[in-house]
Amino acid sequence: MDITLSSSHIGGTIFIPASKSQTIRALLIATFAEGESLLVNPLDSQDTRSCLDACKAFGAEIIHEDNALRVIGKGLPKKPVVIDCGNSGTTLYLATAMASASDSPITFTGDEQLCRRPVGNLLNSLVDLGVKVESTTRQTPPFTVQGPIIGGTTSIECPTSQYLSALMLGLPLAKNDTTVLVPLLNERPYVSMTKAYLDDQDIEYWEYDDMAKFVFRGNQKYRAFTRIINGDYSSASFFFCAAAITGDRLEIKGLDPNDPQGDKEILSILSAMGCSVSYNGVSTFVQGPPRGTLVSGQFDLNTMPDALPILAVAACFAKGTTILSNVPQARIKETDRISCMRSVLDALGADVEELPDGLVIHGTGALDGGVCSGYGDHRIIMASAIASLGCRTSVTIKGIDAAGVTFPTFFKILENIKHYVM
């Protein structure tokens, strides 16, 4: 489906849906625990539904309640199963390591986009630790893993933090202790998120040299739990930037400023660009400066790669050159987001240069508008939609169905704040 959007002022209050990353972590831990867990305020999206299907295939019983999921976990899978992760890379990586503790062969696959996602580093580390892997290339899905994880020592480069988070969730289930050396690590806040889940489970592990080395005690188990899932800063970032580029004010509810999510740092970037940001204990408020007066700058996005598309849009509405750098992992998400965002912004009239690890945007304070592709990538689609708020002419986005991967209500919320009476 395509959509055409026009420039608009915005305003009002937004309730941000729950974090995808936290929902998937909670679902998988509840599934591999034994007993009944309660997840309050989980995200309902295409990615989390893929994870739900995976959890059911692993053997968990899942009961849908009012704004909650009751998960009855059965521990490690006890029979062979095929897990279709859909488009969910988070499910693919995290579930692979956890399922590798099972004696049963577990096959992982997904949609065409997911089957291009790199898995070689993770699978190689699992092989180091005693897991059997069957794969044509051992670089992309589909593949089959069969445990148990014996333990030992492995070294893994993590251009995406999901490799390390996967091992962190899987290795407590190993037969013996495991040492993991991490010579490269991007997206550190997501590892902090995983650590918080392990800590809540009283899992024993030791971290050394600022995440360069981890040691996990083997032969541990997950236990049932109750958890409220916090709002998603990645989803909120689109509306933070909507206020920034329109010069308007939004109130955003459902976010916890103490949450380890890395994308909350976008508020610091927007402050540096000239926005007024505040928090009153319940809501986050973002007030943009007058249209076309955002301040350009140079920003390191290594800890927050998902923010690249929307910050690239915001940079177009600043005057001067903005550099978004140190985010090479943006090329191995659902799409090559560096290349795709350059193409989108070119189509809308921006002056953009592509770097190996980011983008250079020569902002003029405005965009023309036009027709662009959504590239089947939810974050590119949503970033393009927010860009329309400040364009001189309408923006047509070709193919918007993938927005439901993490934020099914995005276009409804966007329409509501556009119709807000100032």
DSSP 351: -
Comparing C-alpha atoms, which of 322, 318, 321, 359 is closest to residue 338?
359
Round the CA-based radius of gyration of the chain to a whole number and report it: 21
If DSSP codes are grouped into helix, strand and coil, which group holds residue 286? strand
- The dihedral through the CA atoms of 59, 63, 69, 73 has a sign that is negative
- The dihedral through the CA atoms of 368, 370, 375, 381 has a sign that is positive
- Is-catalytic flag, 306? yes
> HSE-up of 350 (CA within 13 Å, CB side)?
36
In sequence order, what are the residues at sequence separation of 6 or more whose Cβ sits closer than 8 angstroms to the Cβ of residue 85?
50, 51, 54, 91, 92, 95, 108, 109, 110, 114, 141
In sequence order, what are the residues at sequence separation of 6 or more whose Cβ sits closer than 8 angstroms to the Cβ of residue 229?
18, 19, 22, 23, 26, 39, 40, 41, 42, 43
Do 167 and 153 touch, CB atoms closer than 8 A?
no
Number of helical H runs and strand E runs in the chain: 12, 24
If DSSP codes are grouped into helix, strand and coil, which group holds residue 311? helix
Comparing C-alpha atoms, which of 386, 364, 362 is closest to residue 374?
386
Do 119 and 75 touch, CB atoms closer than 8 A?
no
Q: Which residues pair with 81 in a beta bridge?
A: 106
∠ Cα 150 156 157 (to 5°): 165
The single residue of 306, 336, 346, 351 carrying the catalytic annotation is 306
Cβ of 103: how many Cβ atoms within 10 Å? 11
Active site residues per annotation:
306
